[in-house]
Amino acid sequence: HPALLDAALHPVALTADGQHSEAHLPFAWNGVTLHATQATALRVTITPTGSGIAISATDPAGQPVATIDELSLRPLPDAPSGPAQSNHLYALVWEALPTQNPTAADGWYALLTEHDPDVADALAGSLPDATRTYGTLTGLVEDCGDGAPPSVILAPCPSGSGDDVAGRAHAITRQALGLIQRFLAEERLASSRLVLLTTGSASVTGTGTVNLAQSPLWGLVRSVQAEHPGRITLIDLEGRATNRQALGGALAEAEPQLAVRGGVVHGARLVRAAGRGGTLAMPPGDDWRLAVSEKGTLEDLVLAPAVQADEALGSGQVRIAVRAVGVNFRDVLYALGMIPQDDRPLGGEGAGIVVEAGPGVDGVVPGDRVMGIFTGTGPTAVADHRMVTRIPDGWSFTQAATVPVAFLTAYYALADLAGVQPGQRLLLHAATGGVGTAALQLAQSWDVEVFATASPGKWPALYERGLDDAHIASSRTLEFKEHFGDTLGDQRIDVVLNALAGEFNDASLRLLAPGGHFLEMGKTDIRDPEEVAAGHAGVRYRAFDVLQAGPERIQEMLTELHDLFEDERLHPLPATNYDIRHAPEAYRHLSQARHIGKVVLT
């Protein structure tokens, strides 16, 4: 049908080079062959040629329908150029919504436990007192009788069990679909709203890992919402206490789909893709590097052609095909021009596959999956073989990229510089960041008492690691000094692992025991060790960088850490994942400290 062919030609606009985006029309057809008729759907391949495009069309089964050797195009004279092509692309983003009164909904609530009793029990304490709990929808309907039905019916969706994600997704979707069908068919519930609760099924802060077993529910329910507007709401939680407590506010929102993160309710919005900070253009050639065209702003990140990318390997070097790169705060400071004394390029760690080994290399061979410290952010990197180690079995490259700098820095600080011992007390600032999360794991594995600071929205991550209120304080105010002082009583902190600055450092120093260790990871408030010791009872102050350990010690630490990961005494960090072309957005995300664990580029 002509309309089908016309629709197939629309993607031709995407073959323009971006600099000549004026409208084009078909001009001359050459080598047209019709292989079949009556096709109602086409799969079309469009290939640019020297003077036009070649087109191949098949049916959904892959059988040829038509081929066009070349279709010549000519620009449409006097046509308006219109916006750039990228302005036609939209992306789904989650925006924080204004706080709503959690008791805004009228009527009473019902909570169904049939699909996930554990989640239902956890939610019960966050709902209004008038909430009634039922095992099944049938039991709810029978209890209502001729009385008023609930205004809201909350149903935690099943999570399933087992390693077969696809099988779990099918089973969960079938169960949820059955519940939805019964709800819509019950006339006595015509005035009720069904709220389906999922856990970690929406990617709110980036492109990180989601609950794949429950994610298909979102597609299913969106279709149902189109057919039955206002009857069903989707809300995604993360299972943390602050998110459950914010559920009341989410229920007051007149939104079809919501997500709660860090106690904040977010709504889904479509925005022009260019409005998210743009997408970096890939340079010609196979090798490139993430760089800064001009320091001072994160908007000046670029993907630039690599220089001498294929130079011969030296003794002890390996070439790595990079699959994932960790982003560190040092990268943000470098891009902003805040550490002029540091001229290393962006990127200092990652994971990938060894593709070449120079003379004198042992421990790894081409084909090995490795993680470690190396310079640069691009498709290839050269590393000292002592600075990498094999990735534990079953790990993804993204998981591996969360490890090197964070765990090496934490290990070097606590074990080598401070020599922490079981029973000592550690003040850990920014405890939900990369190094902080790694240091928390290590300290707990060594029976060190941890006092942690983080922004209040991230406290649930600390609760999950077993810390209580007496050992948690905000990293945004100086109240941690008094709060932890009350907990300590006559005792003092033995080690401070610091990433703050200014008066926060002064407050931390006052909590230290005489002769204690103050280990400075930050780059913006470096102090004189002798002055600190003189003013704070012999406190041993040291600003450090993990590279000061040297390749030999780094290799030893990597080996020790690898064994701890293999034994599952340590675990890779939570990751917020971004495509390399969205590096500016990833850097902004890190600069605003919105993440837990690590930000990773792939």
- Candidates 312, 416, 335, 389; CA nearest to 565 is 389
Whether residue 416 lies inside any domain: the answer is yes
Instruction: State whether 267 and 294 are in the same domain.
Output: no
Instruction: State whether 107 and 250 are in the same domain.
Output: yes
| Domain-terminating residue out of 378, 403, 428 | 403
CA distance 401 to 381: 14
Instruction: State whether 73 and 112 are in the same domain.
Output: no
pLDDT on residue 46: 87
Q: Which CATH number goes with the domain that contains 10?
A: 3.10.129.120
| Domain-terminating residue out of 403, 428, 447 | 403
For β-strands 380-384 and 449-454, DSSP reports them as unpaired
Segments of the chain scoring below 70 in pLDDT = 1, 13-23, 76-90, 99-106, 205-209, 239-245, 272-278, 308-310
Instruction: State whether 240 and 300 are in the same domain.
Output: no
Q: Which residues 6+ apart lie within 8 Å of 337 measured at CB? A: 295, 296
pLDDT on residue 15: 60
As for how many domains the chain has, the answer is 4
Instruction: State whether 356 and 213 are in the same domain.
Output: no
* 149-196 confidence digits (pLDDT tens): 999 898 988 887 777 888 899 999 999 999 999 999 999 999 999 999
Are 510 and 532 a contacting pair, CB within 8 Å? no
Whether residue 18 lies inside any domain: the answer is yes
Whether residue 599 lies inside any domain: the answer is no
pLDDT on residue 395: 95
CA distance 596 to 593: 8
Q: Which CATH number goes with the domain that contains 429?
A: 3.90.180.10
pLDDT on residue 253: 81
Instruction: State whether 173 and 252 are in the same domain.
Output: yes
pLDDT on residue 330: 87
Q: Which CATH number goes with the domain that contains 213?
A: 3.40.50.11460
Instruction: State whether 397 and 415 are in the same domain.
Output: no
| Domain-terminating residue out of 403, 420, 455 | 403
Instruction: State whether 169 and 254 are in the same domain.
Output: yes
Are 280 and 261 a contacting pair, CB within 8 Å? no
pLDDT on residue 245: 66
Per-residue exposure over 312-337, b if at least 16 CB sit within 10 Å of its own CB, e if not: ebeebbbbbebbbbbbbbbbbbbbbe
Question: Could you list the residue range(s) of the whole structural domain that residue 23 is in?
Answer: 2-82
The sign of the torsion formed by the CA atoms of 136, 139, 143, 146 equals positive
Whether residue 584 lies inside any domain: the answer is no
Instruction: State whether 384 and 466 are in the same domain.
Output: no
Instruction: State whether 118 and 248 are in the same domain.
Output: yes
pTM of the predicted model, to two decimals?
A: 0.62
The sign of the torsion formed by the CA atoms of 461, 466, 468, 472 equals negative
pLDDT on residue 94: 81
Whether residue 282 lies inside any domain: the answer is no
Whether residue 397 lies inside any domain: the answer is yes
